[in-house]
Amino acid sequence: MKADSILPTVPIFGIRVSKVDMQATVSYLTDAVRKREPHQVITANPIMVMAALENPSYMEIMKSAELVVPDGTGVVWAAEYCKEPVAERVAGFDLLHELLRQGESYNWKVYLLGSTPEVIRATVSRLQSQYPRIVIAGYRDGYFGPEADEAVVADIVKVQPDLLFVARGADSQEPWIAKYKSQLNIPVMMGVGGSFDVISGKSKRAPVAFQKLRAEWLYRLLKEPTRYKRMLALPKFAVKVLREKDKVTKA
């Protein structure tokens, strides 16, 4: 079931973004786990919105996701600017941790897919010690081609996890989940980008000062200047919102 039939949403260029805070998001997804209702959860940022506007098949994926949360501060700003504010930013990294914390009370089963073999092993051991009552039912690295998809999906389906986190970069993780979500049939299937790199200690999340200034994107740009090309989507998104203010939230 799509979240927008239950949760309030704001359409950002046609993509329905949830307006509720972290706590309500977690409680909504807890219900999804209880009812075993499959959800593709997309953590939307301006880069993804711009990609969707340029690529109809990516737009289709964003539109058909059962739940889209406002991860990027640019998305939070756009909603506020168009007078349809969301309750707060729901960052994918924080949502991952909140779900694991919640899952401790229910002994949820989790499958972790993505990043390098070394990073995924370190991520499993960190998460297992941080959330001892979570069952890590399976994991594998994210470096495989389409020919391995069937085996990967079968391995995940076999353990019937409650949560599936996929860390393979936004270009491929969201289409991958969308393609296999009906086979996977997992209550929470969420792309988490570089989160395993941070959890494993391979890379650092932006310091709190950057987070408070709503400038995590700037920290990432400083750390990984090669990202600048894709980050041009940020000012493009801002200009589009400013120019098309009246159209942004018209679904």
Q: Any contact of residue 170 with ligand UDP (CB under 6 A)?
A: yes
For 66, other C-beta atoms within 10 Å of its C-beta total 21
Candidates 11-19, 26-34, 82-90, 194-202; binding stretch for ligand UDP (CB under 6 A)? 194-202
Q: How many residues at the interface with ligand UDP, by CB under 6 A?
A: 15
Stretch that binds ligand UDP, among 9-17, 102-110, 191-199, 211-219 (CB under 6 A): 191-199
Judged by CB under 6 A, the stretch of 32-40, 88-96, 176-184, 192-200 that binds ligand UDP is: 192-200
Is the CB of residue 71 less than 8 Å from the CB of residue 89? yes
Which residue number, 74 or 193, has a Cβ lying nearer to ligand UDP? 193
* Percent of the chain that is helix, strand, coil (3-state, to 5): 55, 15, 30
Joined tokens for residue 153 = 């999906």
Give dist(CA 36, CA 187) in Å, integer.
Answer: 5
Residues 91-130 vs ligand UDP: string with x where CB under 6 A?
Answer: -----------------------xxx--x-----------
Residue nearest to ligand UDP (CB): 142
Chain positions 60 to 89 lying near ligand UDP, rule: CB under 6 A, are none
User: What residues form DSSP beta bridges with 43?
Assistant: 69
Nearer to ligand UDP, 135 or 221 (CB): 221
**CB-based burial, 207-223: b 16+ in 10 Å, e otherwise:** eeebbeeeebbebbbee
Cβ distance to ligand UDP smaller for residue 11 or 72: 72
* Gap between the Cα atoms of 28 and 60, Å rounded: 23
Residue 93 CA to residue 172 CA, distance in Å, equals 18
Question: Which residues contribute to the site for ligand UDP (CB under 6 A)?
Answer: 114-116, 119, 142-143, 167-171, 193-194, 196-197
